[in-house]
Chains A and B, each alone.
Chain A
């Protein structure tokens, strides 16, 4: 599958490899045998995903529950070991190397989790949580404390909050602690796995703004995984839409939202309720539910719910192809 160049607007990079180059990434989970002694079945959570991400830019990955977006993000970081494919960080394949050799690369790759309650150790102070990655990489106590204090300033928390425990913070503040922890080792890429979906709208705006400011100041790239399309549109340079373990469409964010080509993307965008009363036209209501990733439909995986599907869609799986200006669509038609 062809890796894509998402940003032509930085010609000075020349032939430098993209920050992140994901090629045909797969993650299968072994499941039960259908019959005793029969063939083992697999849940194909991520089934051949490819994309690239440039420095200091944001790639949004959207899709519904079970589409594989979070698994893809965690597999890229090797929090889950991939079943196949490659992940290149600055041109270096990090999937094949040993855990020990991977350690220096792990510093470059950090993550912010969805649940600000479950992702902070309740028995550690906020300061210790933020300083822990530094301790793992051999920073001295004095340096750790100075760095943690600096990080608290940077994410908009008071320094005296370093002595408090997670339960003493609100959801939005906890997410700031999680962001400070991810920033500690000065990474090049932060995976944001639904970072604002547990927060109230007014607090969500605060955290999105913080992420945007940090990107501008520090030049961090984000892999931003979320189901909220409006937030993704707001923060992303490029967006990939996943369905049942595959990318079905990817394009520059403006282009994707202005001119969605894949029938699934169109349905997904039209399903989002808009805060404009009386505007109900043009909704595409999909029938039925997402099929099981254990036995994805033949041909195009979306054909069982697609309003345009024809016979060919049930047999041939469409490849992602460029329809112009880096806009890629995996559909036999270009409706």
Chain B
């Protein structure tokens, strides 16, 4: 496929020739702060989050509703409406350039071209009055200056790449003629049409059934290996993370609480929130007889983001919280092997 020919260097990296730390940081989010002005006050949706995405890797960004995972992603593409959203601080560097400082015109040449995104709901993110082929074609005509005919050829090629049967005929169909799984595949084809360096996937399989989810995850894995596109996989599903990601960032209430290689996170999570999250999941196969017992709960609920939290935001729900946790915000501490955690308890134990 043409994609392979276009990105030989990234492909090498995708094959794991280098450790994540040595790879180029394609995207670097640095102390990002995003607030929303609401009638009830200021909501601190993202409160000093930093993480980076390396070339050729798939990074999982996990957390529950309101943790700031989607707001961070939308900030990267500058898709948040302002007002109400205000980027109150920090930087988002794409290959060294701060995206937050770019003109809208320059940003438009990056969005959908070098950094593209797929959304949770493929029905509302595709245009219902344009054919699938026109929508993919539009992206490549705009960004790569292809002519009408060449754009159509690229569209057919992209549909074939994402395993849409009979792509030449399907390119002339409208989104409503596609099933949910096919729409999401078309959406992925559209997002990859310009050979982006970064693909942001925001809950790409949440709206899909499990057998269709399995198809899409397999496709994303294949495409990552073939094209070397770095993927930021935003999800609430730790199962999806385990299957697709090399590294994981865990967010809670607008802050990063843990950052670790995936295997390590699942084997030895360090933050009490991450541990609670893993423990509260019912397991499909734990060998034991029907559990039927109680699941491990995380008591309480996510705090309101309207009041500034001086200490750790998880402290009110944390089983090991101490007085210090509600007073001082824990710094991110490196545990080695690319694993870091923001927790006072870890510091004491170390």
Q: Which residues of chain A are near B283, meaning CB under 8 Å?
A: 230, 275
B238 partner residues in chain A, CB cutoff 8 A:
201, 275
A272 with B289: CB separation less than 8 A: no
Residues of B contacting A269 in the complex (Cβ-Cβ under 8 angstroms): 284
For residue B268, CB closer than 8 A to chain A, the reply is no
A227 to B64, CA, bound (A): 19
> With an 8 A cutoff between CB atoms, is A183 at the interface?
no
Kindly provide the distance from the CB of A332 to the nearest chain B CB, expressed in whole angstroms. Answer: 21
Residue of B266, B281, B282, B301 with most chain A CB atoms under a 10 A cut-off: B282
Classify chain A's interface size. Answer: 35 or more
A274 contacts B285, C-beta separation under 8 Å = yes
- Is B64 a contact of A254 with CB atoms below 8 Å? no
Min CB–CB distance A38 → chain B (angstroms): 22
Chain B residues within an 8 Å CB radius of A290: 209
B263 to chain A, nearest CB (A): 5
B242 partner residues in chain A, CB cutoff 8 A: 273-277, 279
* A271 to B209 CA separation, bound complex (whole angstroms): 10
Chain A, 59-104, CB within 8 A of any chain B CB = 64-65
- A202-B298, A285-B218 in contact; A277/B284 too (CB < 8 A)? no
Answer whether residue A116 sits at the interface, using C-beta atoms and an 8 A cutoff.
Answer: no
User: Which residue of chain B has its CB nearest to the CB of A274?
Assistant: B239
A275 touches which of B239, B295, B299 (Cβ 8 Å): B239
Alpha-carbon distance A275/B296, docked complex (angstroms): 16
Query: B282 to A64, Cβ gap below 8 A?
Result: no
The closest CB in chain B to the CB of A202 belongs to B298
* Cα–Cα distance between A227 and B217 once the two chains are bound (Å): 18
Task: Provide the bound-state CA to CA distance between A182 and B124, in Å.
Answer: 34
When the two chains form their complex, are residues A233 and B284 in contact, meaning their CB atoms are under 8 A apart?
A: yes
Contact (A268, B211) CB under 8 Å given A172-B301, A201-B64, A275-B239: yes
Instruction: List A residues 262-308 near B (Cβ within 8 Å).
Output: 267-280, 283, 285-286, 289-290
Of A119-127, A204-212, A311-319, the segment with at least 4 beta carbons within 8 Å of chain B is A204-212
Known: A268-B211, A274-B242, A275-B242. A230 touches B282 (CB 8 A): yes
Does A203 interact with chain B (Cβ within 8 Å)? yes
**Any B CB within 8 A of the CB of A234:** yes
Known: A233-B290, A237-B290. A208 touches B295 (CB 8 A): yes
User: What is the distance, in angstroms, from A204's C-beta to the closest C-beta of chain B?
Assistant: 7
Stretch at the interface among B101-109, B130-138, B272-280, B320-328: B272-280
Closest A-chain residue to B273, C-beta based?
A202
Contacts of B302 in A (CB 8 A): 200
B212 on the A face (CB < 8 A): yes
Establish whether residues B243 and A205, one from each chain, have CB atoms under 8 Å apart when the complex forms. no
CB-CB < 8 A to B241: which residues of A?
275
- CB-based nearest A residue for B239: A273
Whether a CB of chain A sits under 8 angstroms from the CB of B79 is no
CB distance B284 to A202 under 8 Å?
Answer: no
Please give, as numbers and ranges, the residues of chain B lying within 8 Å of A202 by CB-CB distance: 64, 276-277, 280, 297-298
Q: How far does the Cβ of A201 sit from chain B's closest Cβ, in whole Å?
A: 6
CA distance A206 to B215 in the complex (A): 31
Q: Given A237-B290, A283-B214, A289-B182 in contact, is the A272-B239 Cβ separation under 8 Å? A: yes
Interface range on chain B (Cβ under 8 Å from partner): 35 or more
Q: Is the interface of A mostly helix, strand, loop or mixed?
A: helix
B282: contacting residue among A65, A234, A273, CB under 8 A: A234
Q: Kindly provide the distance from the CB of A295 to the nearest chain B CB, expressed in whole angstroms.
A: 15
Among residues of B, the one whose C-beta sits closest to the C-beta of A65 is B209
Inter-chain contact A201/B285, CB cutoff 8 Å: no
Q: How far is the CA of A296 from the CA of B106 in the complex (A)?
A: 51
Residue numbers in B under 8 Å from A213 (CB-CB): 294
Chain B residues whose C-beta falls within 8 Å of the C-beta of A171 in the assembled complex:
65
Q: Could you tell me the distance in whole angstroms from the C-beta of A290 to the nearest C-beta in chain B?
A: 8
Residue interface bits B202-230, CB-to-A below 8 A is 1, else 0 = 00000001111111011000000000000
A205 touches which one: B179, B236, B280 (CB < 8 A)? B280
**Cα distance A55–B278 when bound, in Å?**
33
Report the nearest B residue to A292, measured CB to CB: B179
User: Once bound together, how far apart are the Cα atoms of A181 and B234, in whole Å?
Assistant: 35
Q: Is A231 close to B, CB under 8 A?
A: yes
Chain A residues within an 8 Å CB radius of B282:
205, 208, 230-231, 233-234
**Minimum distance in angstroms from B274 CB to a CB of chain A:** 11
A203 touches B301 (CB 8 A): yes
Q: Which of A205, A268, A272, A275 contacts B266 (CB 8 A)?
A: A275
Q: Is B240 an interface residue (CB 8 A)?
A: yes
Residues of chain A contacted by B239 (CB below 8 angstroms): 272-275
User: Of B294, B295, B297, which is in contact with the most chain A CB atoms at under 10 Å from its CB?
Assistant: B295
Q: Which residue of B lies closest to A200 (CB)?
A: B64
Once the chains are docked, how many angstroms separate the CA of A227 from the CA of B207?
A: 12
Whether B284 and A274, one on each chain, are in contact in the complex, defined by CB atoms closer than 8 angstroms, is yes
Which A residues touch B214, using CB under 8 A?
A: 270-271, 273, 283, 285-286
A163 to chain B minimum Cβ distance, whole angstroms, is: 20
Residue A257 is within 8 A (CB to CB) of chain B in the complex: yes
CA distance A233 to B277 in the complex (A): 19
> A314 vs B255: C-alpha distance in the bound complex, in angstroms?
55
Is B237 part of the contact surface with A, judged by Cβ < 8 Å? Answer: yes
Name the A residues within 8 Å of B299 (CB-CB).
Answer: 206
Q: Does A229 contact B (CB under 8 A)?
A: yes
- Which residues of chain A are near B291, meaning CB under 8 Å? 233-234
Residues of chain B lying within 8 A (CB to CB) of residue A212: 292-294
| B262 at interface, CB cutoff 8 A | yes
User: Given that A212-B294, A289-B181 are contacting pairs, would A276 and B210 also be in contact in the complex, using a CB cutoff of 8 Å?
Assistant: no
Kindly list chain B residues whose C-beta atoms are within 8 Å of the C-beta of A274.
239, 242-243, 284-285
Across the interface, do A285 and B215 meet the contact criterion of CB distance under 8 Å?
A: yes
11 CB contacts below 8 A, A to B, read A201-B236, A202-B277, A202-B298, A205-B280, A233-B282, A233-B291, A273-B237, A274-B239, A274-B284, A275-B266, A280-B243
Known: A234-B292, A253-B290, A272-B284. 11 other contacts (CB 8 A): A200-B64, A208-B282, A208-B295, A227-B210, A230-B282, A272-B210, A272-B239, A273-B213, A273-B242, A277-B262, A285-B211
